[in-house]
Amino acid sequence: MKQHKRVFLYALISVFTLGLMGCQPDSGVDGLIHGGYIYSATDTTNATDTKDIQAVAFDEGKIVYVGNLTGAEALVGESTQIIDLKGGMLMPGLIDAHVHPLLYALFSSYPSLQPASNVDELIALMKTYEKDTPSSNWVIGFGFPIGMFSDDMPTKEILDEHFPNRPVALISHHMHVWWLNSAALEDANITAETADPQGGFIHRVPGSQEPSGILEDQANFNLIMNNSRLLPSYQTMYRQFQAIFSEMAAQGYVAYMDAGVSRNDIALAYYLMNKFGLIKLKGNLAMIVMPDQGVERVREIATVRQWLETDSLRYDVAKFWIDGMIDNRHAYMKAPYENTTNRGQAYFNTEIIKEYIRAAEAEDLNTHLHVIGDAALGESVDAFSELSETMSFSKRHYFTHLQVADSSDIKRIADLNLGINISPSWARRDLPSSNGKPVDLNDIEHAIGPRLHNHRLYLPFKTMYDSGARITAGSDYPFTTLNPFEAIEVGMTRQYYGNGSTGPIPDAIQPDQRVSLEHLLRSNTIEAAYQLGREDELGSIEVGKSASFTLVDRNLFATQPADIGKTVVTMTIIDGETVYEK
């Protein structure tokens, strides 16, 4: 820590007159934190009532004392590091229970398309990027909004006019849609004879089977999983990994779950970076299982786990994409999309889900199910409900996103003792991408119509908490903000962070689904620790647990909801080691 934070015994006496003259030099604890509000996340009935907690002491990476200042007297030695909150707040180290460091490292390596607002600007950006891309590589840009094209998706001919020879690919802001030119389709061997993969779509020229240039979901995932030429160099990926984990520490995170690792070589890269101390945060990896891979992929994950897992990096989650996204109308819905008969599609049916859950339980793996539409959720819960008649669940199974959800299905999740992972920042009117350019919810409204406002369906956070289900929170970065306090503000206000008001706003997305600060803090701490299987070491401030903390510049419980997003992290500590200090 910075030298000015190393305040010795005489300074503590002069400031607080604690009468610690009797302490023996060098016999004290490693650190003592005091001088602000301390949120322990241990009291589920009244988490704000912690007046008796004035200080927290830690030694050798563990919490050894939680109590008043008087009780800290015998713990302070000459070398004890005294950390003054200066009226701020200490909380358990924050946990991001659904984030994509790998995808950040991948897609941030590609030039951004976010500055573009129309096709001409997209082409101009790609022309610029072409000049800087080695001739043997694909020219790739990331981040165009699907809403730019309304109901008509673009075609390869638009790109062919400007890029007749080099493979070119444009990736949407949520990565579920790729737009390719003819050279890229040829290089990837995608032809009229190429069948749609299970859970994916190759758009065709009307009246034929010729690819039109648009790939969706599993079709583009297959592309990148099977073609290493699309990946940046390992040196570039390494630099981006370093950048994202440094930024996560700066945002107050001490642990995370990567919600989508598709390749075993990336799993190995994680292992090596962790082994050599390049990743300080504790991590769990959710390894992707595609619908056409079968239960053999689940068993393969268990094998990877045997070879690579350490206590600080666990390979213990199987991730299933049950459906697609709303804005490209592939989320699986109970009612058709607006002005269509299309309800989207489930990539896993109930029987396959049951087979995979049985395999995960047998292989000692937790699961994480991407469900966007209400039909996808309902049928996924059906699978667990049917399984529960013949087996009990020993592992931790979580549904994530639940963008459109029925309250009856949410209640069934609670009754089955399953969990829900939410991304609170999704509930705002505008959804900025990682660089702040907004993707308006009009795209969602255009797809599903008045149901977004007329029923309690859209990201019903309060209904989720009221159900009694275990609720965790994740950023879903890089697709939304990494800042946990901006996300918490949105969860509390249902407005874009920094809006400045928590009152009614025009076209607010179901403001009655706002939830409390206490709920959201627990979802970012002790509940997230439970999802990761780390509740015995992380998630609350208790004696014996890891000395992993997030320190901020204000008492969140004394802050207006509309100002929560302005919170500044002043220090992040993991196992007693400062990994970030402002």
- Per-residue pLDDT tens digits for 161-175: 999 999 999 998 877
What is the average per-residue pLDDT within 485-508?
A: 76
Sign of CA dihedral 438, 113, 475, 450: positive
**pLDDT for residue 340:** 86
Cis peptide before 134 (omega within 30 of 0): no
At 399, list the tokens.
Answer: 């549904």
Q: Confidence band (pLDDT; 50, 70, 90) for 499?
A: low
**For the CA atoms of 504, 505, 511, 515, what is the dihedral angle to 10 degrees?**
-80
Percent of the chain past pLDDT 70, that is, above it, reads: 87
Instruction: Tell me the pTM.
Output: 0.88
In order of 351, 395, 399, 558, the CA distances from 367 in angstroms are: 16, 8, 8, 37
Q: Confidence band (pLDDT; 50, 70, 90) for 73?
A: confident
What is the average per-residue pLDDT within 126-137?
A: 86
Q: 358 - beta bridge partners?
A: none
Contacts of 473 (CB under 8 A, 6+ apart): 97, 98, 421, 422, 423, 424, 484, 487, 491, 520, 523, 524, 527, 528
At 226, list the tokens.
Answer: 């099977």
What pLDDT, in 10s, does the model give residues 420-448?
999 999 988 665 444 444 455 666 776 77
Nearest Cα to Cα of residue 363 among 294, 306, 285: 306
In what side-by-side order are the strands of the sheet with 94-99?
Answer: 94-99, 253-261, 282-289, 313-321, 366-371, 397-401, 419-422, 470-473
At 466, list the tokens.
Answer: 């009221």
Q: Confidence band (pLDDT; 50, 70, 90) for 286?
A: very high
**pLDDT for residue 434:** 43
Sign of CA dihedral 19, 20, 21, 22: positive
Nearest Cα to Cα of residue 156 among 134, 181, 135, 137: 181
Percent of the chain past pLDDT 90, that is, above it, reads: 62
What is the average per-residue pLDDT within 457-476?
A: 96
Q: Confidence band (pLDDT; 50, 70, 90) for 453?
A: low
Highest mean predicted confidence (pLDDT) among 68-77, 178-187, 394-403:
394-403
Q: Where are the beta strands (DSSP E) in 372-503?
A: 397-401, 419-422, 430-432, 438-440, 470-473
The more confident residue out of 399 and 327 is 399
**pLDDT for residue 58:** 98
Q: Confidence band (pLDDT; 50, 70, 90) for 18?
A: very low
Q: Are 318 and 369 in contact (CB under 8 A)?
A: no
Q: Confidence band (pLDDT; 50, 70, 90) for 12?
A: very low
CA distance 40 to 212: 55
Rounded to 10°, the helix 517-524/484-493 angle is 140
CA distance 205 to 20: 80
Q: To the nearest whole number, what is the mean pLDDT of the chain?
A: 87
**pLDDT for residue 59:** 97
Q: Confidence band (pLDDT; 50, 70, 90) for 47?
A: low
Q: Confidence band (pLDDT; 50, 70, 90) for 545?
A: very high
Size (the chain), residues: 582
CA distance 529 to 523: 9
Contacts of 487 (CB under 8 A, 6+ apart): 423, 424, 425, 473, 475, 480, 481, 497, 520
**pLDDT for residue 19:** 42
Q: Are 565 and 497 in contact (CB under 8 A)?
A: yes
Q: Are 2 and 581 in contact (CB under 8 A)?
A: yes
The more confident residue out of 406 and 452 is 406
Lowest-pLDDT choice from 281-295, 345-359, 428-442: 428-442
Lowest-pLDDT choice from 247-261, 370-384, 484-498: 484-498
Q: Confidence band (pLDDT; 50, 70, 90) for 372?
A: very high
Nearest Cα to Cα of residue 398 among 319, 316, 458: 319
Q: Confidence band (pLDDT; 50, 70, 90) for 200?
A: confident
Q: Could you tell me the domains of the chain?
A: 3-87 (2.30.40), 110-230 (3.10.310.70), 232-570 (3.20.20.140)
φ, ψ (nearest 5 deg) of residue 396 = -105, 115
Above 90 in pLDDT, residue 79? yes
Rounded to 10°, the helix 407-415/374-388 angle is 30
Above 50 in pLDDT, residue 277? yes
Highest mean predicted confidence (pLDDT) among 183-192, 199-208, 538-547:
538-547
Above 60 in pLDDT, residue 360? yes
At 280, list the tokens.
Answer: 């300080």
Above 90 in pLDDT, residue 133? no
Buried b (16+ CB within 10 A) or exposed e, 77-86: beebbbbbbe
Q: Confidence band (pLDDT; 50, 70, 90) for 151?
A: low
CA distance 487 to 570: 18
Q: Are 114 and 121 in contact (CB under 8 A)?
A: no
Q: 82 - beta bridge partners?
A: 32
Q: Please give the DSSP secondary-structure letter assigned to residue 75.
A: G
